[in-house]
Chains A and B, each alone.
Chain A
Amino acid sequence: MKSYETVIGLEVHVELATKTKIFCSCTTQFGGEPNTHCCPICIGMPGTLPVLNKKAVEFAVAVGLATDCTITKRCKFDRKNYFYPDLPKAYQISQLYLPICRNGKIEIETDSKNKKIGIHEIHLEEDAGKLIHDSSSEITLIDYNRCGVPLIEIVSEPDMRSAEEVIAYLEKLKLILQYLGVSDCKMQEGSLRADINLSIREIGSDILGTRTEMKNMNSFKAIVRAIEAEKRRQIEWIELGKGVIQETRRWDDNKNTSFAMRSKEDTKDYRYFPEPDLPPLEFSREWLEQIKERQPELRDQKMQRYQTEYGLPEYDAAILTGSKPLAELFEKTTILCKKPKEVSNWLMVETLRMMKERELEPDQLSLQPEKLADLIQMVEQGTINRTISKEVFEHIFLEDIDPKEYVKKNRLEIIRDDTLLKKAVEKVVEENPQSIKDYQNGKEKIVGYLVGQTMKAMKGKADPTIVNKMVKEVLGDTIIESI
C-alpha cells in the first residue's frame, strides 16, 4: 500500500457577538420566540435598505489583526444570489472580490511540533434564518431570528495534515476569538461552524488531490470523526482506482458517516455582483491604529503575565488561560481574595473536576468570583476546615449558594468549644476501650482512627489538629487514671 497524506483546509463561520444585527438594529440574542428578533430590513421587505453595523466591521478587523492579516483598506460588499426559504432577500450580502482581511496566519502547537497555518482571507457577511422541519405534520417552518446576524468566514490555506492539527488550529482560533471578545464560539448554538475541505495525495506529491467539502459537524469530536472517516473513504476510493469526486458532503454524527449533498456539476452559480446598496468601506490609517490600540490582551501575553505577576507555575498559567471564562474567573477572584495560588488550585482541581463530571464547557460555568473568594477567605481565616470547604464548594458550584450564609445556616464553622470537643473525644475513647491498650502498647496509629471517629461525631466541624492533640491528651489522662 502506498503512503498517503491528508491535506485539509478549513472554512470557519463565526457569529460575531455584536448587540445588533449587521444591517439593522434587531438583537442578535440566541433563542427567543421564532420571528421575534426581526424587522422589515432583516426579513427583506420591499424597499428596505441595509445599514452596516460598524461594530461588526471593527470585530472583523480585530480578528484580522490578531491573525496577522493584511487589512483591505478599501473593501466592498457583494451579493451572493440564490433561492432558499431561509434567505429572505434571496441574496446574501457577503464579500467576494475585496474581502476585509487577507493573507494572515495562526501558529499552532501539537505534540509533534509548532506550525504556521495560513489564513487565505476573512470576509464579512450576514447569517441566514433557520428552517424547522416538523416531521409529524410534514410542514417546514421558518425562523428568521438568526437572519442578519453578522458572520465572519475565516478561510484557511490547505495547510493542515491531520485531525490533531485541525483541532489545534480550531482551539487556537477559538481562543483568539474569545479573547478578542468578538464571539462566544458556541458550537452547539451554531456561533462557530467549521466546514472541512479535505483531499488525499501520495506523500511527496506537491499536487493537490480532488477535495470534498464536509459540512454539519457540531463539536470538535465530530470534526475528528468526520476527518478520520473521510480520510478512509477517499483512500479507499483511490485504492479502488475510482478517484474522488469533487462534492459537498453532509456529516451525520449519529450514523458516523457522511452523505453526498451536491456534486461540482450541481454547484450553484451565485451570480455575484457588487452590492449597490452599500458604498465601499474605506479605512483610514488612524482608525486602524485605534483598533490596534484597543486590542485586548491575548492568550500568549496573559499566560506570560500570570507567571510573572502572580508567580504561578507555567502549567497553571497554561490551563487557566486555556479558556477565557476560566482566566476571567481567576483574575476576578484573585482581585477579591489576593491569593492567586489558592484561586488557581480551586480552579484547577475542584472546578475542573466538577466540570468534567458534569461535562460542562468553560463558557457554561456559572461560578461567581465573589463566592469563590469568600470561600477561600473562610478557609484562610479558619472559619471552616478544608473538608467542609470542599462540600461548601460543591454547593456553590451546583446551587449557587452564598457560602457565608450556607456555613452559618448549616453550622459548619469549626467548633472551638473545648469542653464540647473534649466530651466528644472522651465518648469516642470510652466506646473504644481496646484503643487505650493499643495506645499503651505503642500503636500510634490508633490516634488517627480516634481522630477520624471524633471528626465524624463532630460532623466534620472540628479542627483535626486540635482534635489530634486532644485525643492524645485524653488517652494519656485515661492511662494515668487507670494506673
Chain B
Amino acid sequence: MDITKVSALQLSKAIRSKELTVTEVVLAQLNEIRKREPLYHCYISISEEQAIKRADEVQKKIEQGEYANSLLAGVPIAIKDNICTKGIKTTCASRMLSEFCPSYDAEVITRLEAAGCIILGKTNLDEFAMGGTTETSYFGVTKNPNNINYVPGGSSGGSAAAVAGGEAIIALGSDTGGSIRQPSSFCGVVGLKPTYGMVSRYGLIAYASSLDQIGPIGRTVEDCAAILQIIAGEDKKDSTCAINTVSPSLKAIRQSIQGKRVGFPAEYFEEGLSKEVRIEILKVVQVLKECGANIEEIKLNTSIYGVPAYYILACAEASSNLSRYDGVKYGFRASKYEDLSELYKETRSIGFGTEVKRRLLIGSFVLSSGYYDAYYNKALKVKNILREEFRRAFEKVDLILTPVTATTAPKIGESLSEPLKMYLGDSYTVPVNLAGLPAISVPCGKDKNNLPIGFQLIGKPFGEQEILQTAYQYECTVQKGEK
C-alpha cells in the first residue's frame, strides 16, 4: 500500500483487519514527511514522538477489539496550526504565538483522538489564517507539490499541500473566506467547508468568529465525509454550534444524484474567470448531466459585493479577536518598552506581520465611531441580502456549481505586493461564508503548468449530504472514465 496515494478509509480498513499496524503506518508516514518536507515545507511542527506513542496505544486498543466500527481508526492526520492541540505548539504561523503551547485541545482534536486518529503535526498557514497563499506565514512559504514554483494557496496551504504531496493522508483546515476550498483547488485535493455551526469552533484560534469553520481535506470525497462524521455535531462549549445536526453517512453519499437540480449561476462564469478554468468546469457540467442531474441557470447578483462585505466583517472581527495578543499574558513580548502603551505598541508592531496588521487596521477603522454605519452595518446588510438570495436560489435548486478560483495557483512571490488582487481572488468563495453555507472543492483537471483546477459545489444550510453525494458521483464517474 503506497501511503502517499492511499485513501484514509482504505488504510483504516487495512489496519483494522490487521494487515497493517498503526505503528507501521505512522512510521511510514513520518518517513515520507522526512523525505518530502525539505521540498514542500508543509509543517510548522511535527509531533513525531507523540505520534509514535499514540500509534502504539491505538494499536493496542485495536487488538483489544476497540474501534471495530471507527472508519478512520489508526489513520494519521495533519492539523492546521490554528487549531489548539494540548502539549503541541499552536502558532497560527505568527511570531506572536511562535512559542505558544495550549493546555487544552480543540473539540475537533478530542473527537479525532476518541475515534482513533493520530495527530502527526501542525501544518503551515497564512499568519492567523489571513491570506490566500501561505506566504504570510512567519515560518516561510509552503510549496505546491504539483509545481514547487507555485503557492499551495491558503490559508490552509500546509494542510492541502500535505495531503497532495504525500505528507499526510488527511488533514484539517479552517475556512473563513475560502481557506479550505481554495488551497484544496490549487493543490488538487478535496476540501469541505461545512455549514457554519456544523463543527465546533472550540479551540480554533479565531480570525473572524462569525465566518470561521473547521473542515476536512482529503484525497477523496469519502475521506472528507468520514472526517466530517467524526468532528461534526453539537458541542456545549461552542454556543454557535448547531444542535441536532446529522452528518451524512457514507451510504447516504453513495446514492445516485438522478434528478438532482444543480444551479448554474451565470454571474460566476463571466469576466475574470480564466479560460482554462471555465473549460474544465463546463466539462463538470457534462459529467453531472451524465450522472442524471439537471442543470438549471440561476441568478446570484449580490455575490459581487461579497468581497468588500467579507473584508469589512472579517477584519472588524479580527481586530477584536486579535487584540488579546498584547504581550501581557502569553506569547511574544517586545524586549524594550518604557510604559504600558509602548509595551502594547512594540509587541504588536513586531509580533504581527504586514498582512495581519493591514487587516487589523482596516477592522479597527470600520468599527470606529462615525464609520460603523457606513462600513460595518452596510456590510452586515450585504450579508443578509446574500443570505436571502441564496435562500431563494435554493427554492429552485438543490445545490449550486461554481468555480473555486478564477485562476490556478499563482507563482510564489507574485501576490504579496498586490493585496487587493489577492482579496478579489476570493470572490467565488466568500459569499459561501457570508451565507454560512456548506461547500466543497473537488479537483477537475490541470492547466498547462500541471497546476490543478477545482470546482465548487455549494449546498443549503446543513445540506452537506447533497454536495458530498454529487461530488462523490462526479469522482466515481471520472475515475471510471480514467480506467
Contact = CB atoms under 8 A, between A and B. Distances in A.
B45 to A, nearest CB: 16
Contact of B97 (A46, A88, A269, A279): A46
Contacts of A348: none
A50 B239 contact: yes
Q: Which of A142, A269, A278 has the most CB of B within 10 A?
A: A269
B483 interface: no
Given A91-B323, A269-B368, A271-B367, A45 B239 contact: no
A48 interface: yes
A52 B238 CA distance: 10
A465 to B, nearest CB: 70
20 contacts: A40-B103, A43-B329, A46-B84, A46-B324, A49-B238, A51-B236, A51-B238, A81-B367, A85-B326, A85-B328, A85-B340, A88-B328, A91-B320, A142-B328, A272-B367, A273-B317, A276-B209, A276-B317, A277-B239, A279-B239
Contacts of A48: 104, 202-203
A40 B103 CA distance: 8
A349 B173 CA distance: 72
A190 interface: no
A46 B376 contact: no
A90 interface: yes
B92 interface: yes
Listed from nearest, the 7 A-B pairs whose CB atoms lie closest are: A90-B323, A271-B367, A276-B210, A276-B209, A47-B203, A46-B205, A47-B84
Contacts of A146: none
Interface in B220-258: 236-240
B364 interface: yes
A315 to B, nearest CB: 51
Contact of A90 (B102, B236, B324, B369): B324
Contacts of A52: 239
A51 B209 CA distance: 14
Interface in B62-110: 83-84, 90, 92, 97, 100, 102-104, 106
A278 B376 CA distance: 18
Contacts of B190: none
B89 to A, nearest CB: 12
Interface string A65-98: 0000000000000010101010011110000000
B209 A47 contact: no
A81 B320 CA distance: 7
Contacts of B326: 83, 85, 90
Contact of B330 (A45, A47, A49, A276): A45
A288 B340 CA distance: 45
Interface of B: 83-84, 90, 92, 97, 100, 102-104, 106, 201-206, 208-210, 236-240, 316-317, 319-320, 323-324, 326, 328-330, 340, 344, 364, 367-369, 372, 376
B324 A276 contact: no
Contacts of A279: 239-240
A49 B239 contact: yes
Interface in A246-303: 269, 271-273, 276-279
Contact of B205 (A47, A90, A276): A47
Contact of B240 (A81, A89, A272, A277): A277
A88 B317 contact: no
Nearest to A50: B239
A270 to B, nearest CB: 8
Contacts of B102: 40, 45-47
Nearest to B97: A46
Given A47-B203, A47-B206, A271 B320 contact: yes
B239 A47 contact: no
A47 B368 contact: no
Contacts of A40: 102-104
Contacts of B240: 49, 276-279
Contact of A79 (B103, B205, B320): B320
A44 interface: yes
Given A43-B329, A277-B239, A271 B90 contact: no
Contacts of A46: 84, 90, 92, 97, 100, 102, 205-206, 324
Q: Which of A79, A85, A89, A276 has the most CB of B within 10 A?
A: A276
Contacts of A273: 316-317, 320, 367, 372, 376
Given A40-B103, A271-B320, A277-B209, A51 B368 contact: no
A51 B201 CA distance: 12
Given A47-B205, A49-B240, A90-B323, 20 more contacts: A44-B329, A46-B90, A46-B92, A46-B97, A46-B100, A46-B102, A46-B206, A47-B83, A47-B90, A47-B203, A47-B204, A47-B206, A49-B201, A49-B239, A51-B239, A269-B369, A271-B319, A273-B316, A276-B240, A279-B239
A44 B104 contact: no
A271 B102 CA distance: 29
A170 B477 CA distance: 75
Contacts of B340: 85
B82 to A, nearest CB: 8
Contacts of B201: 49
Contact of A47 (B106, B323, B329, B367): B106
B104 A45 contact: yes
Contacts of B372: 271-273
A163 B22 CA distance: 76
A89 B237 contact: no
Interface string A355-377: 00000000000000000000000
A88 B324 CA distance: 6
A58 to B, nearest CB: 17
A73 to B, nearest CB: 19
Contact of B364 (A50, A271, A277): A271
A88 B331 CA distance: 13
Interface in A28-61: 40, 43-52
A85 B326 CA distance: 9
A43 B323 CA distance: 13
Nearest to A267: B369
A272 to B, nearest CB: 8
A85 B237 CA distance: 26
B190 to A, nearest CB: 26
Contacts of B344: 83
Contacts of A83: 323, 326, 344
B330 to A, nearest CB: 7
A176 B148 CA distance: 70
Contacts of B206: 46-47, 277
Contacts of B106: 47
A197 to B, nearest CB: 20
Contacts of A269: 368-369
